[in-house]
Structure 1
Amino acid sequence: MAYDKKIAEQIREVLPPTTHIEERKMFGGIAFLLDGKMSVGVLNDVLVARVAPEDAEKLLSTKGVRPMDFTGRPMKGFLYVEQEAISTKAALKKWVDRSLSYTKSLPQKKKKR
Structure 2
Amino acid sequence: MAYDEYLADRIRLNLKEKKANFTDQKMMGGLLFKMDGKMLCGIHIDKKYGDSLLMARIGEAVYEKELKKPYCLPMDFTGRPMKGYIFVTPEGFDSEDDLSYWLDLCIAFNPLAKASKPKKKKS
Note whether the superposition's TM-score is higher than 0.5: yes
Report the Cα distance in structure 2 between the residues aligned to 1:94 and 1:78, rounded to whole angstroms: 15
Provide structure 1 residue ranges, at least 5 long, that are not aligned to the other structure.
none
- Answer yes or no: is 1:72 the counterpart of 2:79: yes
Query: In 2 relative to 1, CA 108–66 (structure 1 residues): closer, same or farther, beyond 3 Å?
Result: closer
Q: Who is 2:40 aligned against?
A: 39
**Secondary structure in structure 1 of the residue aligned to 2:20:** coil
Q: Which is worse superposed, 54-63 or 42-51?
A: 54-63
Structure (1 or 2) with the larger CA radius of gyration: 2
The one of the two structures with greater contact order (alpha-carbon pairs below 8 A, sep at least 6) is 1
Alpha-carbon distance, 1:110 to partner: 6.6
Please give the TM-score of this superposition, normalised by the length of structure 2.
Answer: 0.81
- Please give the residue correspondences for 1:1-113 in structure 2 after superposition, counting only pairs within 5 Å: 2-17=2-17, 18-44=19-45, 45-106=52-113
Distance 1:8 1:101, change over 3 A: same
**RMSD of Structure 2 on Structure 1 (CA):** 1.9
Q: What percentage of residue pairs aligned between the two structures are identical?
A: 37
Q: Distance in 2 between matches of 1:50 and 1:93?
A: 14
Return 5+ residue gaps in structure 2 as ranges: 46-51
